Amino acid sequence: MTEMTTSAQHLQVLALTVFLVCAAAVTPAALAQQQQLPGCPDKCGDISIPYPFGIGARCARGQYFELECNRAYSPPRLIVSTHRQHLVNLSLADGEAIALINAKRQCYNSTEGLVTDANVNKEVTLYGSNAYRFSAARNRYVALGCPNMGYFVDGTGFYVSGCTSFCRPSQGSGASGASTGGCTGEGCCQSRIPTNTDYYEQYIQTFKPGEGDPILRGGTTACRYVFMAEDKWIDTTYRDTPMFNRTDDFAVPVVLNWAIRNVANCDIAKRNRTDYACQSDNSGCVDSIDGPGYRCNCSQGYEGNPYLIGGCKAYLLELVLS
Ligand SMILES: *[C@@H]1O[C@H](CO)[C@@H](O)[C@H](O)[C@H]1NC(C)=O
Ligand SMILES: *[C@@H]1O[C@H](CO)[C@@H](O)[C@H](O)[C@H]1NC(C)=O
Ligand SMILES: *[C@@H]1O[C@H](CO)[C@@H](O)[C@H](O)[C@H]1NC(C)=O
Ligand SMILES: *[C@@H]1O[C@H](CO)[C@@H](O)[C@H](O)[C@H]1NC(C)=O
Ligand SMILES: *[C@@H]1O[C@H](CO)[C@@H](O)[C@H](O)[C@H]1NC(C)=O
């Protein structure tokens, strides 16, 4: 009798275990949901806010990771408290954030006299938070419209990167925009940017009609722009709708890389276990590739938030399927 009860109980326990494993396995997303400290908001509109980021001082890992959710906008806007950039995406897995940043615009009359210098975003900065850098791998610097030599300088005033954009005489004002298959020099050009960039000051240089090499005396557009942009945006959105002839203000996605940067790398970070950001068991440390610092990831077979105690959970779906 006792034996039968025991085996019945075993069966129940087994059934319950199988049920729990299956329930957990079919909802792996539920495991990944705990992304914040207790009592801290984990969303701003549709954007997830995983720790070390947080809304307000109590919820973030120090001031560099503090965010604000501005509900005066619909949908609400996620703003970095220190440098005020507007974020539309945050990711723990690849250490990226996507910011929306306005292009700098200048418009000219027929004799290349400056008509409007919106002077918006001449200086674009990530100063105030040492966590972020403009991703050198995922951004390009763009000059749009023609004739346009667009470039940016660093905090000490030295030229960093830029390019020149010209149009054929038939293009530009009054002409239909010929698609050149992307941003390749005609109406739009792009250049690479160096790693470790956290500030840039943008310039637009035009050319007087009749000046310089005749090959540069092509069509003109009313407005010229310079901006940093995500490579994917240039290769898809811009390629599909070349917009060198536009005259309005607009914002483009820019990829920011973030890391824990109060120490140089993982080796140094691991020496102080209370300050070490990779708080979860079954987590690892990855050195930053663009400036000092490190990021954390969950070990193989685990998923979740490596920055939280107990944040990395066994990935049961893989266990069950294997
Ligand atoms: C935000 O990130 C998600 C997941 O990585 C991606 O699917 C989405 O396209 C991104 N949105 C923007 C605006 O980049
Ligand atoms: C263009 O603007 C410049 C200065 O802004 C001005 O001196 C010039 O007369 C203007 N030219 C025309 C054709 O309006
Ligand atoms: C370029 O701008 C001119 C003047 O605004 C306009 O007439 C022309 O249609 C535009 N071309 C394109 C391709 O948008
Ligand atoms: C370790 O980090 C904590 C928190 O940042 C700090 O207060 C403490 O002084 C550090 N300890 C050492 C030995 O550096
Ligand atoms: C964590 O990052 C390291 C370094 O990039 C990588 O080798 C490792 O595969 C990552 N772990 C997982 C589970 O992705």
* pLDDT per residue as tens digits for the range 124-173: 999 988 999 999 999 999 999 999 999 999 999 999 999 999 988 876 54
274 Cβ inside 6 Å of ligand 4: yes
Residue 86 confidence (pLDDT): 97
Q: What share of the chain is helix, strand, coil (3-state, %, to 5)?
A: 20, 35, 50
Atom of ligand 5 nearest to the CA of 302: 13
Residue 317 confidence (pLDDT): 57
Read off the pLDDT band of 119 (50, 70, 90): low
Smallest CA separation from ligand 5 atom 10, residue: 297
Coil, strand, or helix at residue 35? coil
In a domain, 104, yes or no: yes
Of 114-128, 176-190, 245-259, 299-313, the one with minimum mean pLDDT is: 176-190
In a domain, 205, yes or no: yes
Residue 272 confidence (pLDDT): 97
In a domain, 105, yes or no: yes
pLDDT > 70: percent of the chain: 84
Nearest to 223 by CA among 100, 124, 120, 112: 112
Residue 322 has pLDDT above 80, yes or no: no
Residue of 63, 270, 272 to mutate, ligand 4, most atoms within 8 A of C-beta: 272
- Number of separate domains in the chain: 1
Residue 48 confidence (pLDDT): 96
In a domain, 146, yes or no: yes
Residue 152 confidence (pLDDT): 97
The model's pLDDT over 170-215, given as tens digits with 9 standing for 90+, comes to 765 444 455 557 899 989 999 999 999 999 999 999 988 877 788 7
* Pairing relationship of beta strands 66-70 and 54-55 according to DSSP bridges: parallel
Q: How far is the CA of 71 from the centre of ligand 2 (A)?
A: 43
Give the domain range for residue 191: 98-258
Atom of ligand 4 nearest to the CA of 275: 2
Q: How far is the CA of 254 from the centre of ligand 1 (A)?
A: 12
Residue 65 confidence (pLDDT): 97
47 Cβ inside 6 Å of ligand 1: no
Q: How far is the CA of 205 from the centre of ligand 3 (A)?
A: 22
Averaged pLDDT, 100-109 = 95
Smallest CA separation from ligand 3 atom 8, residue: 174
Distances (CA, A) of 274 to 52, 229, 278, 279, 295: 14, 38, 10, 9, 16
Cα angle 251, 252, 257 (rounded to 5 degrees) comes to 125
Q: Report residues whose beta carbon is within 6 angstroms of any ligand 2 atom.
A: 109-111, 113-114
Provide CB contacts within 8 A for 7, sequence distance 6+: none
Residue 180 confidence (pLDDT): 59
| pLDDT, averaged across the chain | 86
Read off the pLDDT band of 5 (50, 70, 90): very low
Q: How far is the CA of 264 from the centre of ligand 5 (A)?
A: 19
pTM of the model: 0.86
89 Cβ inside 6 Å of ligand 1: yes
Atom of ligand 2 nearest to the CA of 109: 1
In a domain, 108, yes or no: yes
Ramachandran angles phi, psi of 179, nearest 5°:
-75, 130
Smallest CA separation from ligand 3 atom 7, residue: 174
In a domain, 140, yes or no: yes
Averaged pLDDT, 76-80 = 97
Cα 167 to chain centroid, rounded:
31
Read off the pLDDT band of 217 (50, 70, 90): confident
Residue 319 confidence (pLDDT): 56
In a domain, 243, yes or no: yes
Judge whether 67 and 60 are in contact, CB under 8 Å: yes
Atom of ligand 1 nearest to the CA of 94: 5
Residue 320 confidence (pLDDT): 57
In a domain, 182, yes or no: yes
Q: How far is the CA of 57 from the centre of ligand 4 (A)?
A: 19
